[in-house]
Structure 1
Amino acid sequence: MYCHNPDTIDTTGGISYPIEELVEMAVKMKPYFGKKGGVTVSGGEPLLQSKALIPFFKRLKQESIHTNIDTNGRLLNHFTEELLDEYTDLVMLDIKHMTEEGYKYITGQKNKETTFNFAKYREASGKKMWLRYVLIPGLTNTPELLHAMGEYFKDYKTIEKIELQPYHKLGIHKWESLGWEYQLKDARENTAEEIKSAVIILEKYFKEVKTN
């Protein structure tokens, strides 16, 4: 509901690029990556293209380029598993909500457990993961939900940090240009104190809490 790039939702659009052309672009950017940078694939949902991402990430690894997937974790098939296990250095996993009702309200999809099963799979691999979470006052940003998330993930060893993304309305004009109704018009942005309170709660559970 709060997606600020709704134009990426339609999976029939976009432009195809040859893998080698993308790799060449990445190689040219290596001087700007620094010691920790690399290539991040996001979306929409990048794991819809897991099969195509395997040769792309394989080539990036051959060029010693760090690889990252920014995903909601709803897809876990054999292509995804190969991509994650063999070629993905980091996963940034978007946690939409901690309850089934809240998850369905925000995404329109049932079964939040798909995302948590994805997290369990990544944890079992022993490979790095960050969590991402959008703070919406009264909807996702409540003490009860933040504690629930912390309790659920507190024993995970692969989670390096959690990134909090305060809710904003910068994408409303995109929804309107597409002729779609933006359903969170009445939601408000967080106060500085609310963001600070969320950070204090989550610092009890995670090694690093970052706000964007």
Structure 2
Amino acid sequence: MKLFDNTDAPVNVVDQAAVEAQGPIKGYVHSVESFGAVDGPGIRFTVFLQGCRMRCQYCHNPDTWNIGVGDEMTADQVLDDAQRYKAFWGDTGGITCSGGESLVQIDFLLDLFTKAKQRGISTCLDTSGNPFTRDEPWFSQFKKLMAVTDISLVDIKHINSAEHKKLTGFGNENILDMIQWMSANNCDMWIRHVLVPERTDYDNYLTELGDYIKTLNNVQKVEVLPYHTLGVKKYNELGIAYPLDGIEPPTPDRIRNAEKLLHTADYNGYKTWKPTK
């Protein structure tokens, strides 16, 4: 099993008519969580899709990296499972696709969200934006996806591209381009940022990120996610050296400082947010 396959070859962007002629689109699912309380508005059925090219130093799910493995499921199979919990969702909950990186499997994701909306299920995309490109056919698929996505949780790993590359293996230019497109097209967003001592916990970068977020439209919430070490066991089990060995989680004071510099208290739209699509 290759744990470090971050090839740039396109994944899951195919000729739609050819796929439909062969049968339903299938996605590779790592796992699901029936009652997700931190994966978007309300209570959500969270689908963790397999595959990610970034190698974030603090990633706590290295078992989701591999592309093209996992449980093969159709959109209808996922939704039939999810719909059993619909009574708990209220008027804000629904289904969230996380990962891994959901956009690695954009065709399956589009099929899933399209069918979810047909069933009256609210949709939430959890993404770091790494696969984003304006190249075709990917960009057209992304625009269709946004039309059936109620809200996106966008994780900005680092505002500085050089530091972003050190942290994840990739720069952030295309990620910020995705966010700019979403802002210009009035896509509702929650912005998330993982606070990591010695990596992202620097006042100058936090201030720059806070100023950047202020320029965006439709940001409903800004969250600081404190780094934790809960994934270390998985690295040991997979025989992978843990990149942040010896780095402890941020202190409460540093978390409060980050929240202040990112102006998290200014973004309260999530308190009254409801899906409109």
- Give TM class, smaller chain: over 0.9
Q: Structure 2: 5+ residue runs without aligned partners? A: 1-56, 133-138, 271-277
Instruction: Please report how far the alpha carbon of residue 138 of structure 1 lies from its aligned counterpart in structure 2 after TM superposition.
Output: 2.9
Q: Distance in 2 between matches of 1:204 and 1:59?
A: 34
Q: Distance in 2 between matches of 1:204 and 1:89?
A: 21
Runs of 4+ in 1 over 3 A off after TM superposition: none
CA distance 1:209–1:88, shift in 2 (3 Å): closer
Root mean square deviation of aligned Cα: 1.8
2:3 matched residue in structure 1: none
2:145 matched residue in structure 1: 83
Instruction: Please report how far the alpha carbon of residue 75 of structure 1 lies from its aligned counterpart in structure 2 after TM superposition.
Output: 2.3
2:251 matched residue in structure 1: 191
- 8 Å CA contact 2:96–2:124 kept in 1: the answer is yes
CA distance 1:189–1:182, shift in 2 (3 Å): same
- 8 Å CA contact 2:184–2:217 kept in 1: the answer is no
Instruction: Please report how far the alpha carbon of residue 36 of structure 1 lies from its aligned counterpart in structure 2 after TM superposition.
Output: 1.1
Q: Structure 1: 5+ residue runs without aligned partners? A: none
- 8 Å CA contact 1:42–1:69 kept in 2: the answer is yes
Instruction: Please report how far the alpha carbon of residue 5 of structure 1 lies from its aligned counterpart in structure 2 after TM superposition.
Output: 0.6
> What are the within-5 Å matches in structure 2 for residues 149-188 of structure 1?
149-188=209-248
TM-score of the two chains, using structure 2 as the length reference: 0.71
Q: Distance in 2 between matches of 1:189 and 1:38?
A: 31
Identity of aligned residues (%): 33
Instruction: Please report how far the alpha carbon of residue 155 of structure 1 lies from its aligned counterpart in structure 2 after TM superposition.
Output: 2.3
- 8 Å CA contact 1:164–1:209 kept in 2: the answer is no
Q: Distance in 2 between matches of 1:150 and 1:47?
A: 25
2:107 matched residue in structure 1: 51
2:75 matched residue in structure 1: 19
Aligned residues: 208
In structure 2, give the amino acid aligned to 1:174.
K
Instruction: Please report how far the alpha carbon of residue 209 of structure 1 lies from its aligned counterpart in structure 2 after TM superposition.
Output: 11
> What are the within-5 Å matches in structure 2 for residues 1-212 of structure 1?
1-76=57-132, 77-84=139-146, 86-109=147-170, 111-203=171-263, 206-208=266-268
Superimposed CA distance per residue, residues 114-141 of structure 1 (whole angstroms, 9 cap, x where no aligned partner) = 1100101111111201111100123111
Q: Distance in 2 between matches of 1:4 and 1:11?
A: 17
Q: Distance in 2 between matches of 1:107 and 1:61?
A: 33
- 8 Å CA contact 1:150–1:206 kept in 2: the answer is no
Instruction: Please report how far the alpha carbon of residue 10 of structure 1 lies from its aligned counterpart in structure 2 after TM superposition.
Output: 0.7
In structure 1, give the amino acid aligned to 2:69.
G
Q: Distance in 1 between matches of 2:141 and 2:193?
A: 26
- 8 Å CA contact 1:163–1:209 kept in 2: the answer is no
- 8 Å CA contact 1:45–1:71 kept in 2: the answer is yes
Instruction: Please report how far the alpha carbon of residue 185 of structure 1 lies from its aligned counterpart in structure 2 after TM superposition.
Output: 0.7
Instruction: Please report how far the alpha carbon of residue 206 of structure 1 lies from its aligned counterpart in structure 2 after TM superposition.
Output: 4.0
User: Which structure's relative contact order is higher, taking Cα pairs within 8 Å and 6+ residues apart?
Assistant: 1
Superimposed CA distance per residue, residues 8-57 of structure 1 (whole angstroms, 9 cap, x where no aligned partner) = 00113211112212111222211111221110001111111111121211
Instruction: Please report how far the alpha carbon of residue 205 of structure 1 lies from its aligned counterpart in structure 2 after TM superposition.
Output: 8.1
Secondary structure at 2:116 match in 1? helix
